[in-house]
Amino acid sequence: MTKEEHYRKLERMYASAPTNKYHAPTMRVSEGRAEVTIPVRPDFFHAASAVHGYLYFKALDDAAFFAVNSLLEDAFALTVSFNLYLTRPISEGEMKAIGRVVHHSRRFFIAEAEVVDSEGREIARGSGTFMASTIPLTPEVGYEQD
């Protein structure tokens, strides 16, 4: 299997997750990097008419997680910890999270992610630690060819 085939399988795995049916994100994976784009909708808002923080976390964690999983071809990554900073509210347009691996050993990874709005302004950032699990990447978790 080529790296490109691995990346496309990860993208299909992401799209097949039940939560993503609701949020309707798109993802693009490459070597040590992943981008997640989520269109902003009013049903994501808290009472002050801006996107709730849970979606910031989802975007950051998803981008960082799949950046890590781009480097793991046999096992599912696991988020061990994640720190985030919400720097600006958003209530329209798109949220784009860009995640990248900044350090890794055989089983331990550190990844950072940033979320920007449609105008490229940072709205959140975060970093996490991840590790390889014993869960294999198989069709049962959505990791499969088109």
Structure tokens at 11: 């993208």
Contacts 24+ apart (CB under 8 A), 103-109: 104/68, 104/71, 106/132, 107/131, 107/132, 109/68, 109/71, 109/77
| Domain ranges within the chain, ordered by starting residue | 3-141
| Strand partners of residue 32 | none
Q: What is the pLDDT of residue 83?
A: 98
pLDDT in tens, the chain (146 residues): 899 999 999 999 999 999 999 999 999 999 999 999 999 999 999 999 999 999 999 999 999 999 999 999 999 999 999 999 999 999 999 999 999 999 999 889 999 999 999 999 999 999 999 999 999 999 998 999 87
Q: What is the pLDDT of residue 107?
A: 84
Q: What is the pLDDT of residue 128?
A: 98
Task: Record the pTM.
Answer: 0.95
Give the H or E element holding residue 8: helix 3-16
Structure tokens at 114: 């940033």
Q: What is the pLDDT of residue 1?
A: 82
According to CATH, the topology of domain 3-141 is: Thiol Ester Dehydrase; Chain A (3.10.129)
Q: What is the pLDDT of residue 146?
A: 78
